[in-house]
């Protein structure tokens, strides 16, 4: 829980003049301000607790009514930029919101969603860096996809069970278990089970037939033991607001805690998630200008709009051969996460922290294509295919989903030794994962549904040689060994803290490509890559007085190439003797050096922070579409040179002033591409290697400034809040020849707390209004390209422009929730 509230009978500014006793906590090896190791929940400094006249208050669902900025700021001593949201803010939002949506107002966070309940995930960039360039942890374990490092926010955790979501905009902690965090990290911590038996329930209903229910039961202490636990379950569904489709989610969580003695603790968190949603179609800028939130072809592929491109249309009615029918664009997946962050105080000076975890996922992204079953591709040859011995003449529509199954165990272990002002930390992160990715074919029925079922993994096309036809078929094993060591020195009665650390990341990937015909190409069936990277870090924090502090840090981070870079896949080309997606296993890892310097002011009423940051990137990873010597399109992964960025983040928030708690955040960002990007062009009818003139251009997905404002009013029974955020224009091309305009988004929440009623300790009714002005806008660049228009390359050829695609932000939605602790 965050801090506790004041007596509601005393209001206004007078509240800050009441005798407030800050609960002093002994500084321990784990709670000292540092960037060395704070990823595990047992390392996180407890949120500030405030006692008023010896009483503490909980307004329901962990809300205290006292946190800075309405729960959008927390006091911190970290020697780098850190922002966070707490229960005071989370408890008043739409309970279906995912963790990425919850941090949308924090400085640097450029967040866009596509649906009101967050079931389709949404998107985020931070200081111009995408989610695949950031690390995400929950209860100390990594949740980025081990293959492409994507984050699926809708899978992570229910908002009711989130205690804190912390955004470190600049760099990961030394113990952060990530191989993709060239940017910052998002660390999420779950609430602990209550010490007394009880629980929480809520029900939500709103726009687009959105319904959601949540229930949690806390056991309290079990018998005479120190064990306590909670178990929760939620279920929600909603119709799509744009085009046909719906989302259906079932989600379960549990957490068990056993703490004893002086600082010993073992906890176990388990999360199970099952979600079935159909994709919202992306749109090009031309389509957006012509159709807005509609579709290019709103009446179906065989309707009156023939001739219009139909690749972004998801039709409501199925027409024979229509591969844009929405039931062919489903994205079912199931996930199970488990983590056991534990701390053992071995002596007064030696602490062991252990965080073992396990990650399992299985799901797909759907798609369908017309395919000649009598000539199914099998490497350089074609073979007839059948389903259960039956074949279909012509080129029927075949369902062809992209299936991924992941097993991922790992553990982070560290020892922390303190001696006077010195703290030494030594640790090791190990992980081993297996990821099997396939793409089989199956028939589409007369009703438009895949005959293989939702998962697409049975009743598949089998070739005459007995092999299952596949668009891709790979197995990737990733082994991570990362030892780290760091030292922190606290001087002048904790006024000055100096950190220095080093981690050495050793990552080995072994890949097997089971597609046929590789022996006749330059691609490899078996791939082995090894990456060994030293990552030093250093930081300093100085307290000028009780309220002012200065900090500075420098950190080296890296992101290794995705597993997709290891393999050929797609359609085999008999002329080039390569597949349409070509491997590049020799990519270098992306390296970033981040530097920050800042100032904070924190007192009983006001908290503020301002940070200057600078990044320098080398070997940026980029997926590029090129032409081969036969003027045929191929896709491959490349190192796209360097880039740098400079900027300023700032935020300010207060405790209650006449029950009002304002919050403001701001970012200025200047991100620049430093290299001309490898491309191909045509010159006098021939294809030549070339470079697009991107050097000195503003980087895509990097708005030059963002401003957010929040205002929370809470007098105990009544609460109301308003927030807005303006995001400046964002380029979608490296040549800066296409962009989406800036946009403003506003939200309101309001509610009333009723007196205790029977077993319900804190009945609350609230209303959340999202995108209050119903602003229709493009919220995210989903696929940046080099250039939208044709241009002349460095070598004089003509580089053809390509189409960038965008996600449409969710419209106005109203959601009403009733909830209570019991």
Task: Report the C-alpha gap between 442 and 471 in whole angstroms.
Answer: 12
| pLDDT confidence of residue 14 | 33
Helix, strand, coil: what percent of the chain each, to 5? 5, 50, 45
CA distance readout (Å), 529 to 146, 541, 764, 783? 15, 39, 55, 27
Please choose, from the candidates 537, 593, 482, 538, the residue with its C-alpha nearest in 3D space to the C-alpha of residue 182.
593
Tell whether 287 is covered by a domain.
Answer: no
Tell whether 5 is covered by a domain.
Answer: no
Tell whether 302 is covered by a domain.
Answer: no
- Contacts of 345 by beta carbon, 8 Å cutoff, 6+ apart: 261, 262, 263, 264, 351
- Contacts of 413 by beta carbon, 8 Å cutoff, 6+ apart: 352, 353, 354, 355, 427, 428, 429
Task: Report the C-alpha gap between 247 and 210 in whole angstroms.
Answer: 9
Query: 362 forms bridges with which residues in the sheet?
Result: 334, 405
* CATH code for the domain of 139: 2.40.170.20
Tell whether 295 is covered by a domain.
Answer: no
| pLDDT confidence of residue 306 | 41
- Contacts of 405 by beta carbon, 8 Å cutoff, 6+ apart: 361, 362, 435, 436, 437
Give first-to-last CA distance, the chain, whole Å: 17
Query: 408 forms bridges with which residues in the sheet?
Result: 359
Q: What are phi and psi of 742, to 5 degrees?
A: -65, 160
| pLDDT confidence of residue 307 | 41
Residue 396: DSSP 8-state: -
Tell whether 229 is covered by a domain.
Answer: yes
| Residue 313 CB neighbour total at 10 angstroms | 25
Tell whether 2 is covered by a domain.
Answer: no
| pLDDT confidence of residue 695 | 96
For the chain of 822 residues, list the mean pLDDT of each consecutive stretch of 10: 35 34 38 65 52 54 91 92 95 94 96 91 92 94 94 93 94 92 93 95 96 97 94 96 90 96 94 91 88 61 42 67 83 94 94 96 89 88 89 88 95 95 95 96 89 88 93 96 95 93 96 86 86 95 95 94 91 81 91 96 96 95 83 86 96 96 98 94 86 95 97 95 96 96 97 94 95 94 92 92 93 96 93
Side by side, the strands of the sheet bearing 569-573 are 569-573, 578-581, 633-639, 621-627
Task: Report the C-alpha gap between 294 and 287 in whole angstroms.
Answer: 9
Tell whether 6 is covered by a domain.
Answer: no
Residue 122 token pair: 């949404």
The DSSP line for 98-141 is -HHHHTTTSTTEEEE-SSTT-TT--EEEETTEEGGGSEEEETTE
- Count of domains for the chain: 1
Residue 28 token pair: 């321990």
* 14: helix, strand or coil: helix
Strands annotated E in 493-642: 496-513, 526-543, 548-559, 569-573, 578-581, 590-602, 606-618, 621-627, 633-639
pTM for the structure as a whole: 0.90
Q: What are phi and psi of 518, to 5 degrees?
A: -70, -25
Task: Pinpoint the alpha helices (H) of 630-718.
Answer: none
| pLDDT confidence of residue 311 | 43
**Largest Cα–Cα distance in the chain?**
85
Q: Which residue has the tokens 């050096």?
A: 593
Residue 629: DSSP 8-state: T
Domain range holding 586? 12-279+314-821
Please choose, from the candidates 380, 412, 381, 637, the residue with its C-alpha nearest in 3D space to the C-alpha of residue 527.
637
| pLDDT confidence of residue 626 | 84
Q: How many residues does the chain have?
A: 822
Tell whether 126 is covered by a domain.
Answer: yes
The DSSP line for 235-288 is EEEEE-SSSS-EEEEEEEEEEEEEEETTTEEEEEEEEEEEEEEEPPPPEEHHHH
């Amino acid at each position: 829980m965050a801090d506790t509230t004041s007596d509601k009978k005393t209001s206004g500014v007078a509240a800050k003049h009441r005798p407030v006793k800050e609960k002093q906590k002994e500084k321990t090896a784990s709670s000292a301000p540092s960037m060395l190791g704070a990823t595990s929940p047992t390392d996180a400094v407890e949120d500030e607790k405030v006692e008023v006249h010896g009483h503490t208050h909980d307004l329901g669902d962990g809300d205290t009514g006292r946190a800075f900025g309405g729960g959008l700021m927390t006091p911190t001593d970290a020697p780098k930029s850190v922002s966070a949201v707490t229960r005071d803010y989370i408890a008043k939002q739409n309970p279906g919101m995912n963790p990425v949506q919850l941090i949308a107002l924090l400085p640097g966070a450029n967040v866009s969603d596509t649906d009101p309940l967050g079931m389709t995930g949404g998107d985020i960039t931070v200081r111009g860096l995408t989610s695949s360039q950031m690390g995400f942890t929950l209860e100390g374990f990594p949740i980025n996809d081990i293959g492409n490092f994507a984050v699926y926010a809708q899978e992570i955790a229910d908002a009711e069970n989130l205690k804190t979501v912390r955004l470190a905009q600049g760099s990961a902690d030394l113990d952060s278990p990530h191989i993709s965090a060239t940017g910052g990290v998002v660390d999420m911590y779950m609430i602990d089970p209550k010490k007394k038996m009880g629980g929480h329930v809520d029900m939500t209903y709103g726009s687009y037939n959105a319904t959601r229910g949540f229930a949690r039961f806390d056991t309290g202490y079990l018998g005479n033991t120190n064990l306590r636990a909670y178990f929760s379950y939620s279920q929600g569904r909603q119709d799509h607001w744009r085009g046909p489709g719906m989302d259906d989610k079932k989600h379960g969580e549990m957490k068990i805690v056993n703490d004893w003695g002086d600082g010993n603790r073992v906890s176990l968190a388990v999360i199970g998630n099952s979600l079935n949603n159909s994709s919202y179609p992306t749109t090009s800028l031309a389509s957006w200008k012509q159709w807005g939130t509609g579709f290019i072809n709103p009446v179906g592929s065989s309707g009156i709009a023939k001739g219009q491109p139909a690749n972004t249309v998801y039709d409501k009615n199925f027409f024979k051969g229509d591969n844009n029918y929405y039931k062919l664009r489903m994205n079912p997946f199931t996930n199970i996460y488990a983590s056991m962050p534990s701390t053992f105080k071995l002596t007064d000076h030696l602490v062991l922290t252990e965080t073992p975890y396990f990650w399992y996922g299985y799901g797909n992204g759907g798609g369908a294509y017309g395919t000649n079953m009598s000539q199914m591709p099998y490497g350089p040859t074609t073979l007839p295919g059948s389903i259960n011995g039956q074949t279909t003449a012509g080129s029927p529509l075949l369902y062809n989903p992209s299936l991924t199954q992941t097993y991922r165990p790992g553990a982070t272990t560290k020892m922390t030794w303190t001696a006077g002002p010195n703290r030494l930390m030594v640790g090791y992160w190990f992980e081993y994962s297996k990821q099997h990715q396939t793409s089989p074919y199956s028939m589409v029925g007369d009703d438009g549904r895949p005959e293989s079922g939702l998962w697409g993994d049975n009743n598949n096309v089998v070739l005459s040689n007995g092999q299952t036809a596949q668009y891709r078929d790979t197995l990737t094993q990733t082994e991570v060994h990362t030892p780290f060591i760091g030292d922190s020195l606290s001087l002048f009665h904790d006024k000055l803290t100096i950190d220095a650390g080093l981690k050495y990341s050793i990552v080995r990937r072994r890949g097997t490509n089971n597609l046929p015909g590789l022996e006749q190409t330059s691609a490899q069936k078996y791939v082995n890559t090894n990456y060994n990277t030293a990552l030093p870090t250093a930081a300093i924090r100085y307290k000028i007085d009780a309220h002012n502090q200065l900090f500075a840090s420098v950190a080296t981070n890296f992101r290794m190439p995705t597993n997709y870079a290891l393999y050929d896949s797609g359609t085999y080309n008999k002329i080039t003797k390569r597949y349409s997606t070509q491997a590049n296993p020799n990519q270098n890892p992306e390296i970033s050096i981040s530097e920050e310097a800042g100032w904070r002011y924190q007192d009983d009423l006001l908290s503020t922070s301002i940070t200057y940051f600078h990044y320098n990137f080398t070997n940026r990873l980029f997926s590029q579409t090129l032409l081969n010597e036969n003027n045929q399109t191929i896709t491959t992964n490349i190192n796209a040179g360097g880039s740098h960025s400079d900027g300023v983040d700032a935020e300010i928030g207060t405790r209650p002033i006449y029950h009002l708690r304002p919050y403001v955040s701001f970012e200025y960002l200047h991100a620049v591409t430093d290299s001309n990007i490898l491309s191909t062009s045509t010159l006098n009818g021939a294809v030549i290697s070339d470079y697009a003139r991107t050097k000195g251009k503003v980087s895509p997905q990097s708005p030059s400034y963002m401003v957010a404002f929040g205002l929370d009013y809470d007098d105990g029974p009544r609460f109301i809040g308003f927030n807005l955020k303006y995001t400046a224009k964002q380029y979608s091309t490296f040549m800066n020849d296409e962009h989406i305009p800036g946009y403003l988004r506003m939200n309101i929440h309001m509610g009333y707390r009723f007196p205790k009623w029977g077993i319900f300790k804190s009945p609350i009714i609230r209303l959340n209004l999202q995108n209050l002005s119903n602003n229709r806008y493009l919220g995210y660049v989903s696929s940046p390209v080099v250039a939208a228009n044709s241009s002349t390359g460095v070598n004089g050829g003509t580089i053809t422009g390509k189409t960038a695609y965008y996600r449409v932000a969710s419209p106005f939605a109203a959601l009403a929730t009733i909830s209570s602790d019991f």
